Amino acid sequence: MTVTTTYHRAGIYGLAGAALLASLSTAAAQESSPTLDAVRERGELACGVIGSSFGFSLPDSQGVMQGMDADSCRAVAAAVLGDANAVRWVPLVPSQRLTALQTGEVDLLFAQLTWTMSRETDSGVQMTSVNYFDGTGFLVPTALGVSSAMELDGANVCSIQGPGEVTARDFFSSNGMEFTPVLFAEGQELRAAFLAGRCDVYMIDQSALISFRASLGENSANYVVLPEIISDEPLSGAVRKGDPVWYDIARYAHIAMVNAEALGITSENVDSFDDSASPAIRRFLGLDGTLGQALGLEPNWAHDIVAQVGNYGEMWERSFGQSGADRGANRLARDGGQQYPYPMR
């Protein structure tokens, strides 16, 4: 009798809980997003990027913005507007990034922004998801004759003003070495100074160093990326705090790309899954379920991301495949990386 009564009560609580969850889900779907409304009204997404960074955001010879951050912006535009190209690019130097987001100049930020505690707690912004796991490294001329960062005592080090200064000081002081910082507000000026010999070392995220070296063509042999990575730099998108629906959209646009890769869905084959019997794939593509409604989006929002931008692996390959960079931590979790396909159900 005791077992039966306990089971019966669990059933009652289960029904009540289901009703409550359904009510909360409906309320969430009906919650407005001022950012989403503004983006839809103007018909384009204002996305802040660096705009001069190899592998992340850099116009090609036709003037089309290319790279990991650019495609992350396109994914959100595809989800909310059905058009990945409905993006207005707002190039920003590192010191402008947070201000541009805070003041509403941009709706979304993908600008090689490291997810740090102080940025989330002090700046009125919220990090969405890590689109690239990175770390600070060093690029030096081959002629300098060093093979390790531990040989850089007394070096002149070119870096971007801001958090990188702290990283450099921490590394050199903890290893009993001296260095002279040579600071710049933006990357183009820094790279020109490094190539002109104004400093011995170019210090920034290792992905940027590898891509920059690869862009030098025949001259790439004159430079070497040192093996040490001296910090963890999870690079993330960011939105303003106080708009939870927009935060969810930006976050799940990335999660959708990771899920697509895990499910084997690419920009080339996405339309071949219309008759799929897989519940996970049918939910993902909006053929079943209400995932789009929960975000205030069309049922096929994730389909549009993959069809127009691709899955995470495709995005990574376009951005870094030719640079010689190891995908490393940016592999799917099942392949030993940290890109985890959080369940979409």
Query: Under a CB-based contact definition with an 8 Å cutoff, are residues 139 and 78 in contact?
Result: no
SS3 sequence of 12-45? HHHHHHHHHHHHHHHHHHHCCCHHHHHHHHHCCE
pLDDT tops 90 at residue 31: no
**∠ CA 70-127-255, rounded to 5°:** 65
What's the pLDDT at 188? 85
Residues 320/327, Cβ–Cβ less than 8 Å = yes
- The pLDDT value recorded for residue 161 is 86
pLDDT in tens, 273-300: 999 999 999 999 999 999 999 999 999 9
Q: What is the pLDDT of residues 96-149, one digit of tens each?
A: 999 999 999 999 999 999 999 999 999 999 999 999 999 999 999 999 999 999
Mean pLDDT of 30-53: 93
CA distance 222 to 120: 39
Distance CA(294)–CA(282), nearest Å, equals 16
pLDDT at 192: 94
To the nearest 10 degrees (0 to 180), the angle between helices 206-215 and 312-320 is 50
pLDDT single digits (tens) 53-97: 889 999 999 999 999 999 999 999 999 999 999 999 999 988 899
> Using an 8 Å Cβ cutoff, are 138 and 225 in contact?
yes
Burial class (CB in 10 A: 0-12, 13-18, 19+), 179: buried
Dihedral angle over CA of 31, 101, 330, 290, nearest 10: 10
Q: Which of 80, 82, 84 is nearest to 64 (CA)?
A: 84
Distance CA 340, CA 334 (A): 8
Find out whether 250 and 107 touch, Cβ atoms under 8 Å: no
In terms of Cα–Cα distance, which of 97, 102, 128 is closest to 249? 128
* pLDDT score recorded for residue 255: 98
If we measure between CA atoms, which residue out of 67, 71, 38 comes closest to residue 55?
A: 67
Q: How far apart are CA 259 and CA 252, in angstroms?
A: 10
Distance, CA of 98 to CA of 238 (rounded, Å): 9
How confident is the model at residue 19, as a pLDDT? 45
Rounded to whole angstroms, the Cα distance separating 252 from 76 reads 9
Question: How many other β-carbons are positioned within 10 Å of the β-carbon of residue 131?
Answer: 27
Residue located via tokens 């002629």: 143
Confidence of residue 29 (pLDDT cuts 50, 70, 90): very low
